[in-house]
Structure 1
Amino acid sequence: MHEPDFLLRATIAAPAKAVYEALTDPAALRVWLAEHAEVELPGRYEFWGRFTPDGAEPHQRLLHADERTIRFAWTVEGHETTVEFQLDEDGDGTVLTLSQADLPSFEDVLADRAGAFGATSTFWSLAVANLADYLAGRPLTPMVDFTSPELRAEVVIDASPEAVFDSLVNPDTVGRWMGAKVDIEPWQGGRYAMGGFDLDPGGITFAEFEPGRKATLRFADGLLSSWELEGSAGGTRITFVQSGFDATNPPYPGWAGWLSGVADLRGFHELPGWRPGWRKMEIAGVPAGFEPDYEG
């Protein structure tokens, strides 16, 4: 396998045997990974459908499988990549290392120019979050429908609308669950900058801002990203929508990345003592966000 372009290392609160079964049982894969899946080890490992990039039909070819490792070639939009799952025991849990080689450049992924092919890294970020929640018996975060130009999702979070809204616009709180520095001016016309205003002094601004209820971010390219909150049985129903893009080329990479963040947002509010489940994430060798200190 070539040097990976994407690497994600996550801690999952389940024994390695249970994680391996979730990675290889077709019925489980159809819940947390893909619309369709078929596995017959050691010869076949396939998944496809509307929740898979370029998923009209299966494009995987199994290369290796043992009780700790699964490796397969995955061709997306004519580009062959190599994906590997590696499992290592970690006390009562499991460290899952997922790597993928031969992806688009980091710049193309950030600019959302690489289509479904460019969405593979954020696809995996969301998939691993859903794998962890599947094994914990928790509701899953909505997947990306790669066949639809409508980017809309709803989740219910077990927290008040005021608390959820604060966790979306308070830079200190956002930094805790997102695992990255974010500078935010929480008012209409205010700025929002991943990495801080020094890196992005004004490319994203609030087009709408109604405290406790609704906010919309406008990006420099015209993309709009909004969230709307309403109370729901003691919790909060939150609707996320992205719009303002070319419907023939939806920004699936960014949408999948945002949904993987929603999974963290849910855990932040709902799980006592929550901390990011991932230990390390890199895209093209560049650290993506914050790497927690797990020593000790």
Structure 2
Amino acid sequence: MNQINSEIITKEIFIEARPETLFSFFTDADKMVRWMGRQILLEPKIGGKYRIDVNGSDIAMGEYVEIVPFEKIVMTWGWEKSKLVPPGSSKVEFQLTPMENGTQLVLTHYDLPAEEIPSHNQGWSHYMPRIKDFAEGKDPGVDPWSVVAMH
């Protein structure tokens, strides 16, 4: 077994959209699929499950553990077929802070094994600009990762 370590990933991005707008991007499957993956099932309530099919082979799964409307969403995170990061084994927090002209979105991913940090870091670096574009009214287009298996 891998020891859980204190490695975390933090990503921050300023988005010219209100927290109320952004919040729905994590609770509404029709909006989430515009910036991530190709098929999404969400049950946005405490203990509710989610399933994000990124590309037909990599499938993220977990559940909502904390929901503070328009402020914060915390979900457990893992991958359907992964031994290193099985569903629910790590945690992702999305913090929405209202700013003048928009929102500061801070993503924090906790409890990842050290060897999984680079790939998850790359993943969130890929998705953060996509959520920004979508929230600001630009079309991020089809997720290029939704057509290629990553692992």
Same topology, TM > 0.5: yes
Deviation at 1:262, TM superposition (A): 1.1
Q: Residue 178 and residue 249 in structure 1: after superposition, are their counterparts in 2 closer, same or farther (change >3 A)?
A: closer
Deviations 1:205-248 (CA, angstroms, capped at 9, x unpaired):
011111211111113352111111010112001110011123x4
Distance 2:53 2:23 in 1: 20
Q: Distance in 2 between matches of 1:243 and 1:279?
A: 26
* Residue aligning to 1:241: 108
Deviations 1:99-124 (A, max 9, x none): xxxxxxxxxxxxxxxxxxxxxxxxxx
How far 1:254 moved relative to its partner?
2.3
In 1: Cα distance, 2:142 partner to 2:88 partner? 32
Answering whether residue 121 of structure 2 is matched by residue 255 of structure 1, we say yes
TM alignment of 1:1-296, pairs within 5 A: 149-195=7-53, 203-219=61-77, 220=87, 222-246=89-113, 248-272=114-138, 274-276=139-141, 281-283=147-149
Q: Do the aligned partners of residues 204 and 231 (structure 1) sit closer, same or farther apart at CA in structure 2, a change above 3 Å counting?
A: same
**Equivalent residue of 1:177, what SS?**
coil
Q: Is the 8 A contact 1:153 1:239 kept in 2?
A: yes
What root-mean-square deviation, in Å, do the aligned CA atoms of Structure 1 and Structure 2 show?
3.1
Q: What is the TM-score normalised by the length of structure 1?
A: 0.40
1:278/1:181 CA distance change after superposition, 3 Å: closer
Q: Which has the larger radius of gyration?
A: 1
Counterpart CA distance in 2 for 1:224 and 1:212 is: 19
Q: Residue 276 of structure 1: SS of its match in structure 2? A: coil
CA deviation digits over 1:15-63, x for unaligned, max 9? xxxxxxxxxxxxxxxxxxxxxxxxxxxxxxxxxxxxxxxxxxxxxxxxx
1:282, distance to aligned residue in structure 2 (A): 2.0
Deviation at 1:153, TM superposition (A): 1.4
Q: CA deviation at 1:277?
A: 6.7
* 1:147-184: CA deviation from partner (whole Å, max 9, x where unpaired): xx331111110000000010122101111222511101
- Aligned positions, number: 134
Higher RCO (CA < 8 A, seq sep 6+) = 2
Q: Which residue identity is paired with 2:109?
A: Q
Asked if structure 1 preserves the Cα contact closer than 8 Å seen for 2:36 and 2:143, the reply is no
Q: Tell me the equivalent position of 1:98.
A: none
Offset of 1:255 from its aligned partner? 2.8
Q: Normalized against structure 2, the TM-score is what?
A: 0.74
Contact 1:179 1:276 in 2 (8 A): no
**5+ unaligned residues in a row in structure 2: which ranges?**
1-6, 78-86
Identity of paired residues, percent? 20
